[in-house]
Amino acid sequence: MKSQLHLAALTLAVTTGMAVAADCDFDTPKGSCTGTVKIVRSSGSAPSYAAELLVTSSAPRCSRVDYYVNSTPYQTVLANKRSDHESVFGTSPVSAKDIAISKCTSFASASARTDSQSEPKSASGDFGGRWTGSVQWLFVSDPTELTINAHGSSASGVWHSGRGNASVSFNGTASGNVMRFQYVAPGDGSHGSATMTLTGPNSATITFAAAPATFSGTLTRR
């Protein structure tokens, strides 16, 4: 398949965009905050467009901003900072009217936990295991499975796209709650980005953005 996710053959380079200076407990919401999403730069021409966004939270740390771009859901998790950049891709230019904030949630610091019997926080860098779920763009859904072996800061495994019945081996590094993947699609050589964010001990969100499609969804560790 020239898969909707360009998974037939994937060149994967993982960069980490988050240090762990603030250790957050993303299983314990504290309250609401105010989130904003601004367009920093846009580029492209028909039929492929891209935009760089600046996502900001009013909370100084440990927050998550949920928002929509052209009706596609996104999440930006902010651990030790209040803003971060994201890239989105699509078939039409992105303007301010295409962006809608869903909610902004602040979370407790992990150091605030007082229950010594609380389970270990998998959401601080433990990506190991078998993850299953699906990602979606408009009306197109793709079952997705990642089997990840984590060894300290290194990670390797197999990424399987159910819709295209394609499996891709990958290597990368893990740090904090977020892994960002930059990849080059085969055939047309288009560039894309992917973000996997741990949101709990056995849950994560994942987004693949490669023109003209952006797929987002959730994963559960089995």
Which DSSP string do the residues of 57-70 spell out, in sequence order?
ESSSSSEEEEEEET
Please compute the mean of the pLDDT values over residues 129-156 and round it to a whole number: 79
Q: Order the strands of the 63-69 sheet from edge to edge.
A: 24-32, 99-109, 63-69, 72-78
* CATH class, range 24-110: mainly beta
CA distance 222 to 200: 13
Q: What CATH number was assigned to the domain covering residues 11-20+121-221?
A: 2.40.128.20
Most confident range (mean pLDDT) of 7-16, 71-80, 144-153, 176-185 is 71-80
By DSSP bridging, strand 72-78 and strand 129-137 are unpaired
Q: Are 160 and 167 in contact (CB under 8 A)?
A: yes
Q: CATH 2.60.40 residue ranges in the chain? A: 24-110
Could you read off the pLDDT of 32-63 as tens digits, one per residue?
999 999 999 999 888 888 899 999 999 998 99
- Output the six-digit token pair for 209: 């953005």
More confident residue, 36 or 91: 36
Q: CATH 2.40.128.20 residue ranges in the chain? A: 11-20+121-221
Q: What is the model's pTM?
A: 0.47
CA-based nearest residue to 55, from 80, 36, 31:
36
Mean pLDDT of the residues in the chain: 76
- Output the six-digit token pair for 4: 């909707």
CA distance 101 to 42: 19
Which pLDDT score is estimated for 122?
Answer: 41
Res 129 pLDDT > 50: yes
> Which residues, 6 or more positions from 170, have their beta carbon under 8 angstroms from its beta carbon?
10, 12, 156, 157, 158, 159
Q: Are 137 and 213 in contact (CB under 8 A)?
A: yes
Q: Are 40 and 53 in contact (CB under 8 A)?
A: yes
- Dihedral angle at the C-alpha atoms of 182, 9, 155, 78, nearest 10 degrees? 30
Which pLDDT score is estimated for 195?
Answer: 77
Cα 53–chain centre separation: 14
